[in-house]
């Protein structure tokens, strides 16, 4: 049967119209699929680029866990290969997955080498050395010129990194200097030993990357061979390609287009359903793309360990909040965290950070923001809150962190110091409120810790004054002319003979005049200068006391010094250099010095006592100690604090002093009373059986020349007897 012309025309017209519609739909789908594919490919390229970049940063960060360390500097100098292997060599492979590690000296000579693929370190390094020579030269030049670019709170030392070809395989190479973490050990700039870490980017890395980020058929390739695969160049700094990471790209648009072809063939009846399915599928792909973008954004704005917002995100939120309202910013610092990290290890420290973050989040209200800005430092943003509410929050945070943590059955006690700053009308600069909160935190830490301090206008000037004094103190220690040692005589109670002296530090500032130790000792401790200051005072005291052979000399040890693992070694070295009899030296320690790290204190005390050095517990009775503590801590003498001497005549006080002297003698300890200012006090203490006396009544602290005069007069009198 034949169709009528009009009907045929209508049919053909309908077919043509449908064909045009179908063609337009198909063309639209093809274009949309191409756009979706292009977006997906860009996302995948960005992700691979980010992973490779983060790998370079991570290797450098891995190195700093061992290269910024006093022990590493010393052990490398000593050439302790076993220690180097356990901390800088094979351990880097076992713990971080590095494929090779080398340590080279100031002359770029190989000190130690480890390679996962070659048992001969010399051979392994000879292959690597040619590839990294330029990086080594660049790093040494930067070290020599004092270049600090790239340093941050998380990146403690400068370094060089690149992608090179080793044994025909691309590899990330990272070079870091081995430097002191305390600043006590100095090297010639540019001549520091260097640590070289190597991580291959070949098949194993590609497979791991593909598995972790769901890249299909991810593999390493030397050249672009398949047009249907995606290639990311592994390029050195000079853009030379060392190979490619290749994968089969995920093409959501193409996948959708292929899936809809059968529906298109079935005709107009299924077009509506096919289009509906297309919309759903494209939306799903778009959602996954947005999710990937969100994950990338999350990584850039959050701390990976705690999951809290990072410094950049916190600052952005502060700026956003201050643009519309007032707010309070809290800077938080964990007390004793470094000690926990050093004694129990970084894994325990990391788990502690996670637990701390959880407690902080649970303690703040819904509108507040908690962030971790690095190390053991956290921040809290509280929008538009009253001062009393913020202070109450600070107390809640301190109480929450004060509660013991438990990790692997180990109870851990830490504290929390907080600095608080409020925004003020007319001043909505984020950097200002952040700086004020940081200054307040410093004040909280320097005035007792485990407390909060609200920023006041006077703090800015105090902080500036303290910074100026810190700089002046560094200059004073460098000059070795401003720090003076005065001596207060100590007399035997039974005959009032001069038997020893106590060395007391004084700082004669060229502009401010004489500065008392209660001002500059705390600055030295906070600035990391206390070891240099203590060593300078000890050397001066030993040199002066050599002129008074029959007198003992006492020096005071800071709590920070006594808790240092190297304190006993430094004192022993000073005694040897001065050729000084250790039995004539007495070290005075306070009760607070033995709290918090008793093991380190006990090791130092025991080591020096074995040499013959004596120890005295200064200001006894004013702190937290007891005679039960004296049973655990070996000292030779206790010094009765001047507050008990000044309270002479009160019934309760006299009984306390009598008990101190009796119990100390029962333990075989000597007793020195300090702060004697009247003859009545002197007579009373002599009657109670006190061994030695010290105070302004007998003699004020004087210059060494006056001690020499007193000593010479004493010798002259004794020679006439």
CA dihedral of 134, 136, 138, 143, whole degrees rounded to 10 = -170
- pLDDT of 695 higher than 80: yes
* Highest mean predicted confidence (pLDDT) among 475-479, 519-523, 662-666: 475-479
The β-bridge relationship of strands 194-200 and 100-104 is antiparallel
Residue 624 pLDDT class (50, 70, 90 cuts) = very low
Mean pLDDT, rounded, for 460-467? 77
pLDDT at 621 (0 to 100): 63
Structure confidence at residue 34 (pLDDT): 77
Q: Residues 155-197: pLDDT tens digits? A: 888 999 988 888 878 889 999 999 998 888 888 888 999 999 9
Q: What angle do CA 115, 119, 122 make, to 5 degrees?
A: 80
Place of tokens 């050395």: 129
306 neighbors 298 (Cβ within 8 angstroms): no
544 has a pLDDT exceeding 90 = yes
At residue 502, the pLDDT reads 97
* Pairwise CA distance, residues 618 & 157, whole Å: 40
Give the least confident one: 24-33, 66-75, 576-585.
24-33
pLDDT at 444: 87
Helix (H) or strand (E) holding 519: helix 517-526
Could you tell me which of 194, 193, 185, 189 has the C-alpha nearest to residue 144?
Answer: 189
| Residue predicted with more confidence, 380 or 255 | 380
Q: What is the CA radius of gyration of the chain?
A: 36
Q: Which pLDDT band holds residue 583 (cuts at 50, 70, 90)?
A: very high
DSSP label of 350: H
* CB 570, CB 531: distance < 8 Å: yes
List, for residues 26-49, the tens digit of each pLDDT value.
777 778 777 877 887 888 878 878
pLDDT at 119 (0 to 100): 84
pLDDT of residue 625: 47
692 backbone dihedrals φ, ψ, rounded to 5°: -130, 155
pTM: 0.49
Q: What is the mean pLDDT of the chain?
A: 85
Tell me if 84 sits within 8 A of 183, measured CB to CB: no
Question: What CA–CA distance (Å, rounded) separates 586 from 616?
Answer: 7
According to DSSP, the residues that pair with 328 across neighbouring strands are 382, 422
Longest dimension (CA), the chain: 155
Average pLDDT over residues 495-501: 94
């Amino acid at each position: 049967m034949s169709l009528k012309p009009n009907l045929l025309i209508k049919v053909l017209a309908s077919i043509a119209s449908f064909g045009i519609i179908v063609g337009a739909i198909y063309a639209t789908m093809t274009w949309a699929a191409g756009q979706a594919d292009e977006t997906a490919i860009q996302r995948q390229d960005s992700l691979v680029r980010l992973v490779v970049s983060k790998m370079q940063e991570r290797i450098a960060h891995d190195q700093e866990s061992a290269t910024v360390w006093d022990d590493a500097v010393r052990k490398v100098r000593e050439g302790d290969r076993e220690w180097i292997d356990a901390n800088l060599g094979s351990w880097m492979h076992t713990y971080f997955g590095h494929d090779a590690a080398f340590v080279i000296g100031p002359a770029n000579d190989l000190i130690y080498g480890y390679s996962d693929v070659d048992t001969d370190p010399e051979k392994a390094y000879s292959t690597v050395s040619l590839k990294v020579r330029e990086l080594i030269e660049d790093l040494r030049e930067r070290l020599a010129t004092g270049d600090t670019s790239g340093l941050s709170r998380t990146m403690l030392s400068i370094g060089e990194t690149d992608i090179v070809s080793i044994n025909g395989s691309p590899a990330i190479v990272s070079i870091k200097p081995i430097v002191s973490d305390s600043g006590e050990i100095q090297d010639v700039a540019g001549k520091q030993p260097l640590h070289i870490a190597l991580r291959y980017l070949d098949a194993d890395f590609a497979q791991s990357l593909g598995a972790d980020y769901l890249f299909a058929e991810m593999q390493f390739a030397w050249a672009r061979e398949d047009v249907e695969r995606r290639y990311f160049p592994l390029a050195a700094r000079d853009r030379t390609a060392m190979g490619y990471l290749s994968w089969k790209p995920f093409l959501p648009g193409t996948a959708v287009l292929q899936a809809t072809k059968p529906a298109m063939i079935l005709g107009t009846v299924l077009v509506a359903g096919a289009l509906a399915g297309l919309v759903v599928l494209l939306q799903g792909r778009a959602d996954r793309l947005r999710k990937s973008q969100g994950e990338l954004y999350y990584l850039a704005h959050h701390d990976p360990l705690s999951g809290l917002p990072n410094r950049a995100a916190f600052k952005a939120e502060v700026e956003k909040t201050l643009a519309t309202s007032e707010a309070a910013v809290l800077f938080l610092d964990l007390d004793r965290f470094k000690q926990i990290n050093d004694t129990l290890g970084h894994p325990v420290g990391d788990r502690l950070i996670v637990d701390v973050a959880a407690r902080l989040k649970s303690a703040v209200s819904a509108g507040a923001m908690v962030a971790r800005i690095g190390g053991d430092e956290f921040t809290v943003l509280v929008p538009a809150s009253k001062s009393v509410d913020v202070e109450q929050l600070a107390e809640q945070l301190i109480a929450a962190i004060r509660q013991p943590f438990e990790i692997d059955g180990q109870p851990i006690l830490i504290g929390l110091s907080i600095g608080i700053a409020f925004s003020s009308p007319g001043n909505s600069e984020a950097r200002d409120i952040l700086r004020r909160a940081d200054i307040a935190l410093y004040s909280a830490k320097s005035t007792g810790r485990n407390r909060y301090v609200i920023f006041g206008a006077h703090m800015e000037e105090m902080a500036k004054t303290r910074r100026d004094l810190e700089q002046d103190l560094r200059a004073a220690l460098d000059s070795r002319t401003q720090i003076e040692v005065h001596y207060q005589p100590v007399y035997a109670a039974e005959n009032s003979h001069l038997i020893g002296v106590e060395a007391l530090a004084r700082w004669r500032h060229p502009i401010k005049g004489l500065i008392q130790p209660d001002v500059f000792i705390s600055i030295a401790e906070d600035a990391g200068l206390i070891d240099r200051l203590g060593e300078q005072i000890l050397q001066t005291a030993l040199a002066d006391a050599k002129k008074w052979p029959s007198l003992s000399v006492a020096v005071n040890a800071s709590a920070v010094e006594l808790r240092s693992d190297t304190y006993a070694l430094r004192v022993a070295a000073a005694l040897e250099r001065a050729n000084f009899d250790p039995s004539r030296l007495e070290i005075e320690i306070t009760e607070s010095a033995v709290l918090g790290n008793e093991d380190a204190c006990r090791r130092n005390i025991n080591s020096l006592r074995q040499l013959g050095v004596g120890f005295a517990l200064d200001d006894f009775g004013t702190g937290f100690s007891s005679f039960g503590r004296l049973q655990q801590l070996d000292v030779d003498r206790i010094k009765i604090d001047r507050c008990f001497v000044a309270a002479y005549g009160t019934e309760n006080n006299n009984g306390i002093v009598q008990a101190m002297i009796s119990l100390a003698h029962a333990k075989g300890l000597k007793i020195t009373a300090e702060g004697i200012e009247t003859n009545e006090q002197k007579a009373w203490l002599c009657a109670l059986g006190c061994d030695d006396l010290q105070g302004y009544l007998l003699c004020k602290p004087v210059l060494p020349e006056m001690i020499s005069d007193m000593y010479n007069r004493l010798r002259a009198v004794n020679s006439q007897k």
